[in-house]
Structure 1
Amino acid sequence: MAVPVAEGLFETGDGGSHLIGSRCAGCGTVYFPQAPGCRNPACDHPALERALLPATGTLLSYTIQRYQPPALFRIDDWAPYAIGLVDLGEGVEVMGMLSGFDLDAIVIGTPVRLVTNALYTDTARGAVETYMFEIAA
């Protein structure tokens, strides 16, 4: 069984994977990752509600990581990879690794969907997963 790289970041179930964010009960502003309170200066409502974010979006921008990150950011079988900025709607833009893209043929505007994949295997916890975006079918 896989475990998330950080608790409260995403959930996976029968309906697929979703990022977990927060929505202000007063003004409706959506945050990712979850926020402790509304940061909208025009809002004085104190309560945020847990919100599952859409599983699909549009690729807005990207960069390719061609260097291996420090040990803190473990990736088994490391190879260059892309990180994309994805518009999930409602004013929410999320950065995440891109999965299954040809690094030399990434196109801005590509429809993407959220998936989870293993980053590394931990001897105590097993497979450790994070969220990524792949080309939507």
Structure 2
Amino acid sequence: MVADGLFELHGDEPRLIGTRCAACGTVYFPQAPSCRNPDCREKTVERAVLPTRGVLVSYTVQRYQPPALFRIDDWQPYAIGLVDLGDGLEVMGLLSGFALDGIAIGTRVRLVAESLYADAERGPVLTYKFAREIDA
């Protein structure tokens, strides 16, 4: 995985891991050590498995290659989207399977896990992404 604690796999299905305030219900991603809601008097948070489907509310296309710290094998321009997962939570993530000129606000998306790059010692390093939801 690209970073510990961001997501986990249940079989082939990824699940984002966040936190939820035990008192006010505010949800955070990535995980937060305590509640940051200024109206909440309690600060205790609990681990929360987040929804795997949402709606694309914004996006941008990155046409420059990021510095080496942000490693991507076979780099090419890519899109990053802001996805509404419900409960007032919006999560940013790479978009997968979209033509860069065919992305539309309001598109229903689902969480997927894909290789970001291959590491000589660890093998494929996975990250979470959002792909277009396929109608059932």
| Correspondence 1:130 to 2:127 | yes
Deviations 1:69-128 (A, max 9, x none): 000000001111100000000000011000000101111000000001001011111110
Structure 2: tracts of 5 or more residues without a match: none
Residue matched to 2:111: 114
CA distance in 1, matches of 2:13, 2:121: 26
Corresponding residue number in structure 1 for 2:94: 97
Letter paired with 2:65: Q
1:32-53 deviation digits (Å, cap 9, x = unpaired): 0000000011112131100010
Deviation above 4 Å: which 4+ runs of structure 1? none
Is 1:46–2:43 an aligned residue pair? yes
Higher relative contact order (CA 8 A, sep 6+): 1
Would the aligned equivalents of 2:33 and 2:45 in 1 still touch at CA under 8 Å?
Answer: yes
Shift of 1:130: 0.6
CA–CA distance in structure 2, aligned partners of residues 130 and 15 of structure 1: 13
Q: Counterparts of 2:131 and 2:88 in 1: how far apart (Å)?
A: 21
- Indicate which of 13, 23, 27 corresponds to 1:26: 23
Q: Which amino acid aligns with 2:119?
A: D
In structure 1, runs of 5+ residues without a counterpart are none
Aligned equivalents of 1:122, 1:105: Cα separation in 2: 32
Equivalent residue number for residue 36 of structure 1: 33
Tell me the equivalent position of 1:59.
56
Q: What is the match of residue 84 of structure 1?
A: 81
Give the drift of 1:15. 7.5
Matched residue SS, 2:111: strand
Identity of matched residues, %:
66
Q: Between 119-128 and 14-23, report the one with greater CA deviation.
A: 14-23
Aligned residues: 134
Q: CA RMSD in A?
A: 0.9
